[in-house]
């Protein structure tokens, strides 16, 4: 009797320092290939794992989401504990469950929440893998003012790390953009539909330039227009300060690729 295939969803947390990003690359340690090998060791299956977001090399995740199809009869909630037994300490599956065959980690997501952390005090070796160590005070009110320009549906071409020839549309929608002081750090928290390559790191870079007095507040808004071509584009901050905090799907996940706008519940 043939086995019945089931789709399993993982929520994954990882310290991205020693990973070359999410996507599998020949001869390199990546999150996707590490998880795929862990599932193979547990189940004996060569499966494909699909992630919600292709995090950069060195970037971290608290709530990355991925899925795969399996014919092995393991209770969905037990996958996390079993797979963690063969994973190294810098990555863990923090939740696992059965989802419908129509669920897709990437295309069913309607928003993603990223955080970029900037440290404003002396270097802390216990945090240095997870923050951008700027080491000086920043003008947070000006950073907050500049962040307001970035909320909404805009062309974020000036905020990409590099223009991917396969990406024709550089418009994205951001639902919220918050800059706040937390102890000796500045947190840049952004929620949006999807993000271009390096987009979070360059947006954080633009705000850092504003906060240190190197870029006028109003120039951030101009970077969203054709005036971008007459301006210096923002610096791309190191990946180590970036973390994918959460991916949301709603009560009834569906493929959102064809939707013009995504309505929040």
From the list 15, 56, 124, 153, the catalytic residue is 56
- Beta-bridge partner residues of 261: none
What is the spatial distance between Cα 34 and Cα 24, in angstroms, rounded to a whole number? 9
80 in helix, strand or coil? helix
What is the spatial distance between Cα 55 and Cα 35, in angstroms, rounded to a whole number? 14
The yes-or-no answer on residue 46 being catalytic is no
- Residue 122 is encoded by which pair of tokens? 């002396």
Classify strands 242-248 and 60-70 as parallel, antiparallel or unpaired. Answer: parallel
The CA R_g of the chain, rounded to the nearest whole Å, is: 19
Phi, psi at residue 201, to the nearest 5°? -70, -35
Q: Distances from the Cα of 234 to the Cαs of 99, 156, 196, 221, in angstroms?
A: 40, 12, 15, 12
What is the spatial distance between Cα 103 and Cα 95, in angstroms, rounded to a whole number? 16
Which one-letter DSSP state was computed for residue 144? Answer: H
Q: Which residues are catalytic?
A: 56
């Amino acid at each position: 009797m043939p086995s019945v295939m089931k789709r399993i969803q993982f929520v994954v947390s990882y310290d991205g320092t020693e990973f070359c990003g999410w996507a599998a690359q020949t001869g390199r340690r990546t999150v996707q290939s590490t998880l795929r090998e862990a599932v193979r060791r547990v189940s004996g299956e060569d499966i494909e794992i699909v992630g919600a977001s292709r995090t950069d090399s060195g970037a971290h995740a608290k709530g990355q989401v991925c899925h795969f199809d399996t014919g092995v009869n393991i209770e969905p909630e037990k996958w996390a504990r079993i797979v963690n037994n063969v994973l190294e300490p810098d990555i863990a599956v923090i939740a696992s469950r059965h989802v419908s065959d129509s669920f897709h980690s990437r295309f069913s997501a309607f928003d993603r929440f990223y955080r970029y952390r900037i440290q404003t005090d002396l270097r802390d070796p216990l945090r240095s893998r997870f923050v951008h160590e700027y080491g000086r005070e920043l003008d947070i009110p000006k950073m907050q003012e500049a962040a307001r320009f970035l909320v909404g549906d805009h062309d974020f071409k000036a905020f990409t790390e590099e223009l991917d020839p396969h990406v024709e549309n550089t418009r994205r929608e951001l639902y919220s953009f918050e800059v706040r002081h937390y102890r000796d750090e500045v947190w840049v928290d952004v929620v949006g539909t999807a993000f271009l390559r390096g987009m979070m790191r360059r947006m954080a870079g633009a705000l850092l330039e504003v906060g240190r007095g190197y870029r006028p507040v109003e120039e951030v808004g101009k970077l969203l227009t054709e005036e971008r071509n007459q301006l210096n584009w923002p610096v791309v901050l190191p990946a180590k300060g970036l973390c994918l905090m959460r991916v949301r799907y709603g009560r009834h996940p569906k493929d959102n690729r064809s939707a013009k706008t995504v309505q929040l519940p």
